[in-house]
Structure formats: structure tokens, C-alpha cells
Amino acid sequence: MLFAEEQQKRGKIKTPAVLGAFIDLGNCLDLIDSYFLEELREAYKNLKSAFELLGMPLPVNKAIGTTNDIIIRRLDCAVIQAHVTHCSIRYDSVRGVFWEGDDLYLGAGMKEKNHIQICVREINCIKGFFIPREQIL
């Protein structure tokens, strides 16, 4: 189940936690780079053709709530999964940027919830992890 759907099912997080990590992205499918975005566009075309041959509908991305933010990313997930699974290149990680939320201020090009997500596919890319120290005032 996707994270956003799981959160809705479970409700609010009662005890949040933070874990830091030292990560070497290795050979990264970097969806911030236009070269890799073009690679993904081709992967979508291949996936679409495969679904059409099978007579099946493609997964769909969906917005949740009152915003137009695409939170449930079934199509994006399927395209990335198909690409990293069937590509001749072995990707150690995937990195993508997401612009979500309301405009930060009137006329802004930034949103309230902009963030980058990293998926580590090769465990050896995780060089270490730590629990951050509490802030000392």
C-alpha cells in the first residue's frame, strides 16, 4: 500500500521519529536531470504499449483532498518500477523532486511542501545511519 493511503488508514502519527543516514546514491536514476526524465518518458511509452497489448488500463495518479496535488502516484510508481526492472542499466537509487501544497506566497514559484525523495535500491549505498542529537539551547 502506498504511504499516503497507509497514513490515512492508520490516522495521525502519535510518536514521530527521525533517523538520519549517510547515503551514496551510486548509479542514480536522477529525476531532477532532464536526461533521465527523457529516459522515463520512453519507459512510459513502453509501459503504455504493454498495457494496451494486455487490454488493461494503466494505473492512474490521483489527487487527495481540496488541492490538485498528486499524492497517490500509482502511474509514476509503475513507470519507474518497470523502467528499473527492465532497463539494461542497474540503478542503485532513484531521486525525484515533488512540488506540493499551496503557493508559499502570492506569485511564488515555490510551494509549502516542496521536497525531494530518495529511494535506495542497493543496500550497500547506505554508508551509515544515526539518531540526531536533541537540540541544545
Structural domain boundaries of the chain? 24-123
Residues 101-121, mean pLDDT to the nearest whole number = 90
Query: With contact defined as beta carbons under 8 Å apart, do 2 and 73 qualify?
Result: yes
How many other C-beta atoms lie within 10 A of the C-beta of residue 29? Answer: 24
Span of 38-47, 54-63, 107-116 with lowest mean pLDDT? 107-116
Name the strands in the sheet holding 93-98, side by side, starting at the edge strand that comes first in the sequence: 28-30, 93-98, 115-120
Residues 5-29, mean pLDDT to the nearest whole number = 82
Res 5: pLDDT: 56
Average pLDDT, rounded, for the chain:
89
Residues 73-98, mean pLDDT to the nearest whole number = 94
Q: Kindly give the pairing relationship between strand 70-73 and strand 93-98.
A: unpaired
Res 1: pLDDT: 41
DSSP 48-109: HHHHHHHT-PPP-EEE-TTS--EEEEHHHHHHHHHHHHHSSS--SEEEEEE--SSBSSTT-S
Residue 10 has pLDDT above 70, yes or no: no
Span of 12-16, 29-33, 42-46 with lowest mean pLDDT? 12-16
Q: Across-strand partners of 71?
A: none
31-40 tens-digit pLDDT? 999 999 999 9
Residue 4 has pLDDT above 70, yes or no: no
More confident residue, 7 or 25: 25
Res 7: pLDDT: 56
Res 134: pLDDT: 80
